Structures are given as C-alpha cells and as structure tokens.
Structure 1
Amino acid sequence: MESVSRARCFGGTQHVFRHRSAETGTEMRFAAFVPPQAGAGRLPVVWFLSGLTCTEENFTMKAGAQRVAAELGLLLLVPDTSPRGEGVPDDPDGAYDFGLGAGFYLDATQAPWARNYRMESYLLHELPAQVAAELPADLTRQAIMGHSMGGHGAITLALKTPGRFASVSAFAPISAPMRCPWGEKALGGYLGPDRSAWRRYDSCALIEDGARLPELLVDQGMADTFLESQLKPDLLRAACADAGIPLTLRLQEGYDHSYFFIASFIEDHLRWHAGRLGRAA
C-alpha cells in the first residue's frame, strides 16, 4: 500500500493510498481519514461509497466529514467507484452511467467487464484486509453509507452480509436498480439479460427475497432531479414496511442531488453511526 498524499486535518490525518488489486487486476486508490484517537488503539470504521462519476476525492474534499469524525473517533474509508487504467473497458459511447466511474459495487459476469469489474469482492474481502494490515481499523465495528449509486451499494452490501455492519445509511440511494434506467443499463450490461441474476444487486428485491437490516437511515432531497426517474425512495419505503425493517426516510425540502446536500446532513449520519458502533463494541 503506497501513500499518494497525506495532510493534517482536525488533529488527525487525511490520507490517499494506492495499491495493486488482485480482484480488479488494476491499481486502486482509496482515501482514509485517521482521527486523532488513533494513538489509543484500533478505531471503529465508517465506509462511504460514492456515486456515478466520482472517485475517492469527491467525498473527501466536499462532504466536510473530517471535523465530526475527528470528534467521534471514526476512521473514514472512501474507495473509488470502479477499476481504472489502461485496458479497463469503458462504455463504448462514453456515457457517464456505465463503465469507468460506474462500477455499481457488483461483480460483473459478462465479457469484457468480468475481468476487472469486481467491486463487490474488492470491497468485502480485499480492501478490508489491506486496511486491517496497514491502518488502526477495528473491523469488528464497521458501519457503511453511500450516495446515489453508492447508497445502492451500501444497502445491498449490508443486506448480503448480515452482522457485518453495525449500521447502514444512505443519501439519495438508487433504491430499485431493476426498475430505473441507470440500474437496467448497468445490471444488464454487467450481468447479462437474465433478470433473476439482478436481484442480488437490488435493495428492494433483496428485501423481498428475505434479506434484512436491523434499521436504515435515508435522506432524500425533494428538489433532486433524479428523484422520480432513478431513485424511487417510495419503493424502498414499501419494501421495508412489508418486511418490518425500521426505516427513517427523511425527505428534505429544497435539497438536490449534490454534495451541498450531503454536507448539510453528514454530521447527522456520522453521529447516528457512532451511536450504533458504540453499542457494537
């Protein structure tokens, strides 16, 4: 694991690292904020999964999360959203919603994507092992959150690994990828035409098929231009209600899909996760 950059921040250190990934066959980057409490031992971890077109930099530079993480003693981990580099296939038409920057946190099965687009295995297995070896991370205390495509990733990864994450939250998640244009394009391209194979990457379908979470926090901006066409929080609300999953869905008037929205409510999410990580200790 090689250091790309480091900077002092609220008494802790904001890092960017890169390493060679066996899962993706590429060099991968991720950001890690290590709070000042690191000298006292291993720390609870909060993962943030970013949305379409993003890298590890967007959340790190725009969300304003470090101040609260430093106060609460949370180690923030922000991976990239897809493999990158020479030879990694991209959308043939150069679209933003497939290929580079749009890994959808899944393991692709279709050529030519299957070789490199293995973000689920990378995030659940390879990257945590790297982090545990190099950083003061307590992987018995993990939380996960994300935005848009990353909200989809956070919820689906948590649903598929019960007990791994003490808490899960999302900002404007793609709630039902099987029923929106972004998701249909991505799932069809990466996984092929058999829609039954898509269900393990759809939050609502996973819940319908029996997966459960102890609870879920979601913030959704009501001025989000993607609200009705792509995000569909009402489908997630209905799925959680039918399954008895406690969902706190906060509809925020006037807020859009941008990082101004995330920065406005990131403190709420970090404090919510910290309370549950403390109970998990």
Structure 2
Amino acid sequence: MKTVSTARAHGGTQGVYSHESTATGTTMTFSVFVPPLDEGQRAPVLWYLSGLTCTHANVTDKGEFRAACAEAGIAFIAPDTSPRGEGVPDDPQGAWDFGLGAGFYVDATEEPWAKHYRMRSYVEDELPALIVSEFPMLDCSRQSITGHSMGGHGALTIALRNPDRFRSVSAFAPIVAPGQVPWGEKALGGYLGDDRSAWRAADAVAMIEDGARVKEVLVDQGDADNFLAEQLRPELLARACADAGIDCTLRMQPGYDHSYHFISTFMADHVRWHGERLKADR
C-alpha cells in the first residue's frame, strides 16, 4: 500500500492510498478517514460506496462526513467504483453509465469485462483484508455500510450477502432493483450476460425475494431526484422489505435531488444512525 496524501481533519486523519489489486489487476485508490482516538482505542468502520461516474474523491471532497465521524469515533472508508488504467475496457460508445466509473459492484463474467471488472471481490474481500493488515487502529469486527445510487445498490447487496459482517446498512437514493430499470439492465446484461437468473444475486429486491435478510434498512431519497421514477424506484425495496419482515425506513426528502448537496445534508444522520448500531452490544 502506498500513501498518496494525508491531511489533518476534525482531530483525525484523512488519507488517500493506493495499491496493486489482484482482484482487478489494476492500481486501485481509496480513502480512509481515521477519527481522533485515545491510545489503545480502535474505531469501528463505516464503508461508503459511490455512484456512477465517481471515484473515492467525490465523497471524500463533498460528503461532509468527517465532523460526524470524529464525534462518533467512526472510521470512514471510500473505495473507487471501477478498475482504471491502461488496458481496462470502457463503454464502446463512451457512455457514462457503463465501464469506467460504473463497475456496479459485481464480478463480471462476460468479455472483455471479466478480467478487470471484479468490484464485488475487491470491495467484499480484497480491500477489507488490506484494511485489516494496514490499519490496526480500526476494529473490523464492527462494520457498517452505506452508499449512493449505484453505490446504494452495492451497499444493499453486499450487506444482504454478509448479514453477520455488517451491523447496519443504509443508502442514499439507491438503485434497489437493477434488474427492473434501464441502468441496471444495461450493466447487469453487459457484465453478467443475458441470463436474467444470474442477475438476481446482484439485485437487492430479488435477493430479498429469494430469502436474503438484514434486520433493518435506512434509505433517504429526494423527491426532486430526476432519476427517481425511472431508475431508482425505492417503493420496490419498501414493498420487498415489508413482505420479508425487514424494518425499512424510507424517508422521502422534499425538494432534494440526486447530488452531493442532498447526500451531505443527511450524511451526519446516517453516521449517527450507524454509530448507535456499531457501539451496541450484539
């Protein structure tokens, strides 16, 4: 692991780091905020998965999470959204909703994507192992996860696959049912192929329908989001959770759009919500 940069913030340290990933076969960059800690103290971890077109830098620069994380004593980790670099394929038409910046947190099975687009393995396995080895001040026995849009999809699906690892999951304007919306149909079809049954393990609503469970979910969604009706459809998640007995809090926020103005407004709420669950006895 290489340190790209560090800066003091709210009594803690905001760092950006890079490493050579075996999952993606590329150099990957991520950010970690470590809150102020007393000697011998270890911080629980909140993962944040970003949305389409983003890198680690979007939330690191605009997410306004550090004050709340410092107050709650929570570390904040933000990976990239896709592999990057020479030889990594991109959307042939140069579209922004597939390829670079749009890994959808799946392990691609189709060519030419299968070699590098392995973001599920990277976020679910490789990067957590690196965090354990390189950040001994973090307590990875206490983890939670959140994300925005495509990253909300990633957070929900990863939490549903790993209910014993993550104490809580939340999302900002998530893509809840990629198998039923244009963004997801393009991404899952491109990365996983035409067999829609293979998509179900990468679709939060389908996973819940198929028996995956978490205790509870918190979702914030702006009602002025241009993507709400066609791409996000949070009502599908609320319905699936109700049918499955999952406690889903869906907060429709009047006048808010899909941007980081929306995310930063409610970020502290999410940090505090996760903090209560990260510090509670299990």
TM-score between both structures, scaled by the size of structure 2: 0.98
Please state how far the C-alpha of 1:41 moved relative to its aligned partner.
2.6
Aligned partner letter, 2:10: F
Q: Distance in 1 between matches of 2:253 and 2:38?
A: 35
Identity over aligned pairs, percent: 63
What is the match of residue 127 of structure 2?
Answer: 127
What is the match of residue 101 of structure 2?
Answer: 101
Q: Distance in 2 between matches of 1:144 and 1:268?
A: 14
Alignment of 1:2-41 (within 5 A): 2-37=2-37, 39-41=39-41
1:152 aligns with 2:150: no
Contact 1:83 1:100 in 2 (8 A): yes
Is the alpha carbon distance of 1:128 and 1:38 closer, same or farther for their aligned partners in structure 2, counting shifts above 3 Å?
Answer: farther
Count of aligned pairs between the two proteins: 281
Structure 1 residue ranges (4+ consecutive) displaced by more than 3 angstroms after TM superposition: none
1:207 aligns with 2:197: no
What is the match of residue 45 of structure 1?
Answer: 45
Alignment of 1:107-256 (within 5 A): 107-135=107-135, 136-256=137-257
Indicate the RMSD between aligned Cα atoms, in angstroms. 0.8
TM-score between both structures, scaled by the size of structure 1: 0.99
Q: Secondary structure at the match of 1:166?
A: strand
Please state how far the C-alpha of 1:38 moved relative to its aligned partner.
6.0
CA shift digits 1:40-70 (9 cap, x unpaired): 3321000000000000000011011001101
Contact 1:16 1:32 in 2 (8 A): yes
Please state how far the C-alpha of 1:162 moved relative to its aligned partner.
1.8
Q: Secondary structure at the match of 1:265?
A: helix
Aligned partner letter, 2:252: L
Q: Secondary structure at the match of 2:249?
A: strand
Q: Distance in 2 between matches of 1:70 and 1:213?
A: 27
What is the match of residue 92 of structure 2?
Answer: 92
Contact 1:142 1:166 in 2 (8 A): yes
Structure 2 portions without partners, runs of 5+: none
Q: Secondary structure at the match of 1:139?
A: strand
Structure 1 portions without partners, runs of 5+: none
Q: Secondary structure at the match of 2:280?
A: helix
Contact 1:46 1:142 in 2 (8 A): yes
Aligned partner letter, 2:6: R
What is the match of residue 75 of structure 1?
Answer: 75
1:61 aligns with 2:52: no
Aligned partner letter, 1:206: M
Q: Distance in 1 between matches of 2:39 and 2:226?
A: 44
Contact 1:166 1:280 in 2 (8 A): no
Q: Distance in 1 between matches of 2:39 and 2:102?
A: 36
Q: Distance in 2 between matches of 1:142 and 1:227?
A: 29
